[in-house]
């Protein structure tokens, strides 16, 4: 109950869930419309029935796929790196991302000149072995 989760993954998943539920609601509406259209318009009813079933099947499929992916994502957390730079002497340092880090935030003073250092970059480490970094 007291599970605290404010990560980006949760945000994305709740958005996906919203889309899925809208699709599901629309397909259910299509099915209801199909049932009511059967007596008056046969062809339209069949189309609505088809759309309804496709929508329902698709949203259920996506829902299961998303749940699988979220499980996989929650196990493996990508490492995020923060680059800190000194404006005065150009000293650069790299460390792990810490909660509350943002670009242009002033952090610890420079090791060389004691000037406050700035966060200049926050990025996720890419685990591709082919990729070569220039810096």
Least gap, CB of 80 to Zn ion (angstroms) = 24
**Do 99 and 119 meet the contact criterion of CB atoms below 8 Å apart?**
no
Q: Tell me how many degrees the CA angle 55-12-131 measures, rounded to the nearest 5.
A: 110
Say which residue the tokens 């196990």 belong to: 75
> What are the distances in angstroms from CA 20 to CA 9, 33, 95?
16, 20, 38
Closer to Zn ion by Cβ: residue 34 or 110: 110
Q: Does 89 bind Zn ion (CB under 5 A)?
A: yes
Contact call for residue 91 and Zn ion (CB under 5 A): yes
Question: Using CB under 5 A, which of the segments 35-43, 44-52, 85-93, 98-106 binds Zn ion?
Answer: 85-93
> Any contact of residue 92 with Zn ion (CB under 5 A)?
no
Binding site for Zn ion (CB under 5 A): 86, 88-89, 91, 110, 112-113, 115
């Amino acid at each position: 109950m007291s599970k605290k989760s404010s990560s980006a993954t949760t945000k994305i998943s709740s958005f996906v869930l919203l889309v899925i539920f809208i699709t599901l609601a629309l397909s259910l509406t299509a099915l209801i419309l199909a049932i009511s259209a059967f007596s008056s318009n046969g062809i339209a009813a069949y189309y609505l029935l088809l759309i309804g079933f496709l929508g329902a099947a698709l949203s259920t499929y996506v829902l299961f796929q998303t749940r699988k992916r979220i499980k996989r994502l929650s196990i493996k957390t990508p490492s995020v790196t923060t680059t800190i730079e000194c404006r005065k002497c150009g000293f650069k340092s790299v460390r792990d991302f810490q909660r509350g880090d943002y670009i242009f935030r002033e952090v610890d003073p420079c090791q060389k000149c004691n000037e406050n250092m700035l966060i200049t970059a926050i990025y996720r480490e890419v685990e591709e072995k082919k990729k070569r970094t220039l810096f």
